[in-house]
């Protein structure tokens, strides 16, 4: 019995396909070189902004005479000193209040009452005050003493200056003779005070 052989099917050649793939790859590479160029962008350098530090309030500063001793701080006092000579005493205080309390006449009359003097009017105020500069700001200086015959006879030396937000009071209250001796030291103390420039450091 003879075996019939089937005709052999020849596989198509892959050469043309491979050629097409190669051509495609070359075209792709060439296209990338033209369209996919690597671009370098320079970004602006980071800018560092240095903020100016906010001024820090350091609080009021005072330069008392060497003969004054530290006093008692209480209530609204920002500073207190005491001077004693023989049997006489004077107390020096610095205090501040909101600007609502800035009425000059009211404050002067309040001090006058402490030394048993009658109240004055607005028309009389200018005759009882003299200018004094405190921390670069124009203030008012006053003196008041108890009437003759009072015992003990007390005296008040005072200064008032308006700040931006606060009104500042300087007061020496003590025996008449000692207060007079301390007058110039008190004025120098008031002039050297740094209070208006230190507002907000409470």
Q: Which of 15-19, 130-134, 148-152 has the lowest mean pLDDT?
A: 15-19
pLDDT the model gives residue 35: 44
Residues whose CB is less than 8 angstroms from the CB of residue 156 and which lie 6 or more positions away in sequence, other chains included: 111, 114, 115, 142, 143, 144, 145, 171, 172, 173, 179
User: What is the token pair recorded at 7?
Assistant: 């005709």
Please tell me which residue, 74 or 114, carries the higher pLDDT value. 114
Q: Confidence band (pLDDT; 50, 70, 90) for 3?
A: very low
Span 93-118, average pLDDT: 95
CB 67 within 8 A of CB 84: no
**Per-residue pLDDT tens digits for 29-64:** 445 444 444 444 344 444 444 444 444 445 789 999
- Determine the Cα–Cα distance for residues 85 and 180; give it in Å rounded to an integer: 12
pLDDT the model gives residue 76: 84
Percent of the chain exceeding pLDDT 70 equals 70
pLDDT the model gives residue 197: 83
Q: Is the pTM of this model over 0.85?
A: no
- CATH number assigned to the domain covering 69-198: 3.40.1000.10
Q: Confidence band (pLDDT; 50, 70, 90) for 24?
A: low
How far is residue 6 CA from its own chain's centroid? Answer: 108
Q: Confidence band (pLDDT; 50, 70, 90) for 117?
A: very high
Burial of 37 by CB count in 10 Å (0-12 exposed, 13-18 middle, 19+ buried)? exposed
Q: Which of 15-24, 59-68, 71-80 has the lowest mean pLDDT?
A: 15-24
Q: Which of 163, 155, 174 is nearest to 92 (CA)?
A: 174
């Amino acid at each position: 019995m003879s075996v019939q052989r089937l005709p052999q099917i020849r596989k198509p050649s892959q050469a043309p396909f491979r050629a097409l793939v190669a051509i495609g790859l070359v075209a792709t590479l060439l296209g990338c070189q033209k369209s996919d160029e690597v671009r370098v962008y320079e970004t602006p350098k980071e800018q560092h902004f240095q903020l100016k530090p906010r001024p820090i309030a350091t609080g009021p500063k005072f330069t008392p005479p060497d003969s004054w001793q530290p006093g008692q701080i209480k209530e609204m006092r920002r500073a207190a000193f005491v001077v004693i000579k023989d049997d006489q005493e004077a107390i020096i205080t610095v205090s501040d209040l909101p600007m609502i309390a800035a009425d000059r006449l009211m404050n002067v009359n309040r001090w006058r009452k402490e030394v048993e003097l009658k109240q004055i009017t607005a028309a009389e105020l200018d005759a009882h005050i003299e200018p004094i500069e405190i921390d670069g700001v124009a203030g008012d200086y006053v003196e008041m003493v108890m009437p003759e015959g009072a015992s003990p006879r007390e005296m008040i030396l005072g200064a008032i200056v308006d700040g931006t937000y606060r009104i500042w009071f300087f007061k020496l209250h003590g025996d008449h003779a000692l207060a007079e001796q301390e007058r110039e030291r008190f004025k120098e103390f008031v002039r050297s005070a740094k209070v208006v420039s230190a507002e907000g450091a409470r």
